[in-house]
Amino acid sequence: MHGEVRLKSFTADPEALADYAPLTSEDGSRSFEVQITGAIKGGFAARLSGVRSKEDADALRGTRLFAPRDRLPSLPDDEFYHADLIGLAVYDTGGAELGRIKAVLNHGAADLLELHLPGSSKTVLLPFTHAAVPTVDLAAGRIVADPPEGLFD
């Protein structure tokens, strides 16, 4: 148990977490190989390379670890990784910029794109449905939206 950590997995298949290793810290300064040692309440017990003591493990408490983008599986054409959407510009069907994606939220029913409006501190929640967002062009870094009536009033 010396140096074991608790990991919460946010992958589609939680147990596949180790397959995406090495995992890196948010700033990319640290990298870890992962060996899952068992399931525990709320996640997994794991050993991380370079973490050999309880003190090493405690120092990582609250650290978010990320999988390299190129290790993630390809998605079908109508599915997207949240990280690929955040920061994209959103335009209406006439070409006017509506805002930039600040976050992708899900409160149960469907995903919502939180848009930061240009020249404002306000945000708007745009339903991430095919009707409201007919075009996602990751290569061009833009989204075309046909927002519901009154959303931007």
- State pTM to two decimals: 0.68
| Closest to 87 measured CA to CA, from 45, 44, 116 | 116
Q: Are 112 and 123 in contact (CB under 8 A)?
A: no
The CATH topology of domain 82-145 is: SH3 type barrels. (2.30.30)
Express each pLDDT in 105-147 by its tens digit: 987 778 899 999 998 889 999 999 989 999 999 989 999 999 9
Torsion of CA 94, 100, 102, 104, to 10 degrees: 30
CA 83 from centre of chain: 5
Per-domain residue ranges of the chain: 5-71, 82-145
Q: Are 92 and 142 in contact (CB under 8 A)?
A: no
